[in-house]
Structure 1
Amino acid sequence: MSTNVWEANEEIQFFREYLRIPSVHPNPDYEPCVEFLKSQASALDLPIRICYPANEKNPVVVLTWEGLQPDLPSVLLNSHMDVVPVFPEKWSHPPFGAELDEKGRIFARGSQDMKCVGMQYLAAIRALKRSGSRFKRTIHISFVPDEEVGGKLGMHAFVSSQDFRSLNIGFSLDEGIASPTPEFPVFFAERSVRRVIFKIGGSAGHGLLLMPNTAGEKFSYILEKMMEFRSAQVRRLEDNPELQIGDVTTINLTTVAGGVQSNVVPPLLTACFDCRLSIDIDISEFHATLLRWSEEAGGDIEVEFGTFQSTPRVPPTATNDSNPFWVAFKRATDDLGLSIKLQVFPGGTDSRFIRHVGIPALGFSPMNNTPVLLHDHDEYLHADTYLKGVETYIKIIANVANA
């Protein structure tokens, strides 16, 4: 296909327009996104509401297509408006230029994560409305802020609001990850995030002494135990080719702080570990193990377990006949001849907040045969992949909205 044909495509034009909005951290401005989505709602002849569950700088935008049986639980198609920071000098194209090269690649931050999915939802809705389709269930298309920094001011706040409860959500679709193979990953669960912070107290004094119970000695013990745990998970992954990164627990030392100068033994060291607990890990037992290691290290260690992201473990979304939405989703992918693989999402998405309030959710981004470039330099999505994804969502949305 020639570049002219891609550039003339209406949906490609809308996608590139959305990508050019620099809703980028650390200080994203969402108002241009809101104005763009208002224009989309007008073109689609859909009502739009803007909610502010956290504060006035973090809007949640919801477009609604009412179903024939509006009392039924509705379908939520969720995406986030924010994108991660860029280092323009590392890009071969302007990161918010949405340039289309001769191969059909659209370069922009958010082209994979995840402005593509939000616009594919709207493109699919546009096609379905133009075809005269109507469905049993109401469909809500939400665009939320703050996902890339944890979601506290976005979906986390939204699911607790009356605005969210009034939507009567029965099922949610959200983002997945690109796949470099022909297979499409479908995510039915997420690992539990724990930011484990050890505040390690110890004897302080001159660096020429050999004092007992120093913070450094205790930190050494804690580090050894955490790295042993990590090594066991590395071996699990290496020994079983069927396992994905989301099936194991990951532990990484991310920050160490403390000390005043080179010849003073400090009274306090602080170490933070990023821990992503697999769904087969007993969280209470994991916490107890860390506390035991802290006592074994010599005591005087305070352990903090993360932030608001540390939601209680919730059951994975059912992927069997007990879940009519899964049945409808699977039937759509089967009819389209797609090869899908169920996986546990290795990171964190807004789906964890949806599942936490008891709503089944699947993560899915129709981007196969595509290098994984989320958060990377020169992030891009091929125009044909984008358009095929629209066709995929047309089938999936029609099925789940009639489930």
Structure 2
Amino acid sequence: MKCVGIQYLETIRRFIEDGKRLKRSIHVSFVPDEEIGGKEGMGLFVKSDEFKKLNIGCAFDEARASPTEVFNLSNKERTLWHMKIHCPGTPGHASLLHDNTAAEKVHYIVNKFMAFREEEKTKLKANKNLTIGDVTTVNVTMMTGGVQLNVLPPEFVLAVDCRLAVDRNVDEFLAMIQGWCQEAGDGTRLEFIVKDEYTPPTPLNETNKWWITLKEAFNSVGVHVKVQSTPGATDIRYLRRLGIPAFGFAPMNNTPVLLHANDEFLNEKTFLRGIEIYYALIEALANM
């Protein structure tokens, strides 16, 4: 999020230029590894004495672009699981019809994931008030195994990306996948690459003084927001787990959603307006 990082820094530069003296300190963090789970970046940072000494009251992080005039604001996000499903099977010559092959187990597991995926797609299409962050997504992203066209492999391995909706019970979901592995056949097993814990949402009500102040600041600059769940996983979840109120907000309205796509862009006027918006929001929170 180069645009957001630059907007943060430009906002602080303008505070200094304008001689602003705020009641609270502002800290900006740039940490690595967010795209691969953040465990070695923000995950370690929040456990450090350096972080604890900052005495953080609330935090901002990124949010999705919005193709409409309304801006996106997130107070919650889905639980990220990256998994590998190991499907061992009978090896041998491909001219035979062996039982208990790796491909048969893959077939069973993939069908289960695809059926679940279709249920979530149907749920999303049936309710126009839902966004992608409100449903659970599962996608098979890689499959490895095999060395030769005429040889049955001893194992296929599926890589699966799961993003669990906030209202989905993580224990029940795990039990369901483990059940599929048992049903697929002997030796089929689940390995976690990333297994995030459930992260409670930041409350958006009268109990959260930061939200009351932020909402007033939005109104003061004429910004209308739509609250939604972040579809991906951001570093802000590490702060929410500590009970720190945290808001996902990026001033990118009238902008197509091109996450990780070719030619992702932000209009110059939208970018510059975003600095003005951050100026008002951060000043309000830092003077609370």
Query: With structure 1 as the length reference, what TM-score do the two structures score?
Result: 0.69
Of residues 255, 274, 298, the one that matches 2:185 is: 298
State the AA in 2 paired with 1:344: S
CA deviations on 1:31-88 (whole Å, 9 max, x unpaired) are xxxxxxxxxxxxxxxxxxxxxxxxxxxxxxxxxxxxxxxxxxxxxxxxxxxxxxxxxx
2:140 corresponds to: 253
Give 1:196 deviation, angstroms: 1.9
Identify the residue that residue 400 of structure 1 maps to in structure 2: 285
2:270 alignment partner in structure 1: 385
2:9 aligns with 122
Q: Which residue of the other structure, out of 369, 374, 378, is the alignment partner of 2:254?
A: 369
Work out which of the residue numbers 204, 210, 214 in structure 1 matches 2:97. 210
Gaps of 5+ in 2: none
Q: In the aligned structure 2, how far is the partner of 1:143 from the partner of 1:133?
A: 23
Aligned residue number for residue 230 of structure 1 = 117
What's the CA shift for 1:282?
A: 0.9
Distance 1:165 1:231 in 2: 44
Aligned in 2, Cα 1:292/1:374: closer, same or farther, shift over 3 Å?
Answer: closer
Query: Which of 305, 318, 326 is matched with 2:211 structurally?
Result: 326
Q: CA–CA distance in 2 between the matches of 1:267 and 1:160?
A: 42
TM superposition shift of 1:163: 0.9
Q: In the alignment, which residue of structure 2 is the partner of 1:77?
A: none
Cα distance in structure 1, aligned partners of 2:94 and 2:33: 45
The equivalent residue for 1:81 is none
Contact 2:65–2:255 (CA<8 Å) still a contact in 1?
yes
Deviation at 1:391, TM superposition (A): 1.1
CA drift at 1:399: 1.4
- 1:267 and 2:154 matched: yes
Cα RMSD, aligned residues only = 1.5
Q: Deviations over 1:175-232 (max 9, x none)?
A: 1122111010001111111112111112222222222211111111111111100000
SS of the residue 1:326 aligns to = helix
CA distance in 2, matches of 1:186, 1:333: 11
SS in structure 2 of the partner of residue 380 of structure 1: coil
Is the contact between residue 311 and residue 356 of structure 1 (CA under 8 Å) also seen in structure 2?
A: no
How far is the alpha carbon of 1:170 from its aligned partner?
Answer: 1.5
- Structure 1: gaps of 5 or more residues: 1-113
Instruction: For residue 270 of structure 1, give the secondary structure of its aligned residue in structure 2.
Output: strand
C-alpha displacement of 1:296: 1.1
CA distance, structure 2, for counterparts of residue 126 and residue 205 of structure 1: 67
Q: Distance in 1 between the 2:149 and 2:6 partners?
A: 54
Amino acid in the other structure paired with 2:228: Q
| 1:265-297: CA deviation from partner (whole Å, max 9, x where unpaired) | 222111111111111111111111111111111
Within 1, Cα distance between the matches of 2:189 and 2:125? Answer: 34
The answer to whether structure 1 residue 317 and structure 2 residue 202 are counterparts is: yes
CA apart distance, 1:347: 0.8
Shift of 1:166: 0.9
Give CA-to-partner distance per residue, 1:305-339, whole Å, 9 cap, x none: 232xx221021111111111111111111122211
CA distance in 2, matches of 1:206, 1:384: 63
Cα deviation for residue 372 of structure 1 reads 2.6
In the alignment, residue 207 of structure 2 is paired with which amino acid? Answer: S
Contact 2:77 2:199 in 1 (8 A): no
The alignment partner of 1:394 has SS state of helix
- The amino acid across from 1:121 in the alignment is Y
**Higher RCO structure, 1 or 2 (CA under 8 Å, sep 6+):** 2
1:37 matched to which residue of 2? none
After superposition, give the CA deviation of every residue in 1:119-143 in whole Å (9 maximum; x if it has no partner).
2222222333343433322211222
**Cα contact 2:33–2:40 (8 A) shared by 1:** yes
Paired-residue identity, %: 48
Q: Distance in 1 between matches of 2:13 and 2:144?
A: 53
Aligned mate of 1:187, from 69, 74, 82: 74
Q: How many residue pairs were aligned? A: 288
CA distance in 2, matches of 1:126, 1:297: 59
TM-score by length of 2: 0.95
Which consecutive segments of 4 or more residues in structure 1 shift more than 6 A?
none
Q: Which one of the candidate residues 319, 322, 336 is aligned to 2:221?
A: 336
Confirm whether residue 131 of structure 1 aligns to residue 14 of structure 2.
no
User: 8 Å contact 2:77–2:230 — kept in the other structure?
Assistant: yes
Q: Does 1:350 align with 2:235?
A: yes
Q: Which amino acid aligns with 2:202?
A: T
Query: Quick one: distance in 2 between partners of 1:364 and 1:343?
Result: 11
Cα–Cα, structure 1 residues 231 and 374, in superposed 2: closer, same or farther, change >3 Å?
Answer: closer
Counterparts of 1:210 and 1:143, CA distance in 2? 55
Q: Matched residue of 2:64: which SS?
A: coil
Instruction: Give, as a single letter, the amino acid of the residue that structure 2 aligns with 1:354.
Output: L
